[in-house]
Chains A and B, each alone.
Chain A
Amino acid sequence: MNEIGLPQVLFVSCALFFIGIYGFLTRRNMITMLMSVELILNSVNINFIAFNKYLFAHKLDGLFFTLFIITIAAAEASVAIAIIINLYRNYHTIDVEEVDTMKF
Chain B
Amino acid sequence: MNASVIIFYIIAAAIIGCGLLAVTSLKIFRSAVYLLFSLISIAGLYFFLDYEFIGAVQIVVYVGGIVVLIIFSIFLTQGSGGLMKKPALGRIFFAGLATLFGAILTYMLINNQLFIPSNQQAIAPSVENIGAQMLSTTEHGYILPFEVVSMLLLSAMIGCIVIAIKVKTPELKNSVEIKEVEFGAADNHTIENTDIKIVV
The reply to whether chain A is a binding partner of chain B is yes
* Interface set of A (CB-CB < 8 Å, partner B): 1-4, 6-12, 14-23, 25-29, 31-32, 34-36, 38-39, 42, 45-46, 49-50, 52-60, 63-64, 66-68, 70-79, 81-86, 88-89, 91, 94-95, 98, 100-101, 104
Contact A68 B149 (CB under 8 A): yes
The answer to whether residues A18 and B102 also contact, given A27-B87, A28-B85, A49-B49 and a CB cut-off of 8 A, is: yes
Q: Are the C-beta atoms of A72 and B152 separated by less than 8 Å?
A: yes
- In the complex, which residues of chain B have a beta carbon less than 8 angstroms from the beta carbon of A84? 73, 77
Q: In the complex, which range does the number of interface residues on chain B fall in?
A: 35 or more
Give 15 A-B contacts (CB < 8 Å), ordered by A residue. Answer: A15-B103, A31-B28, A38-B66, A46-B42, A49-B49, A55-B117, A60-B133, A63-B53, A74-B65, A78-B160, A79-B156, A81-B73, A82-B159, A85-B73, A89-B166
Across the A-B interface, how many residue pairs have beta carbons closer than 8 Å?
A: 224
The CA of A66 and the CA of B130, in the complex, are separated in Å by 12
Q: How far is the CA of A34 from the CA of B71 in the complex (A)?
A: 12
Stretch touching chain A among B16-24, B170-178, B191-199: B16-24
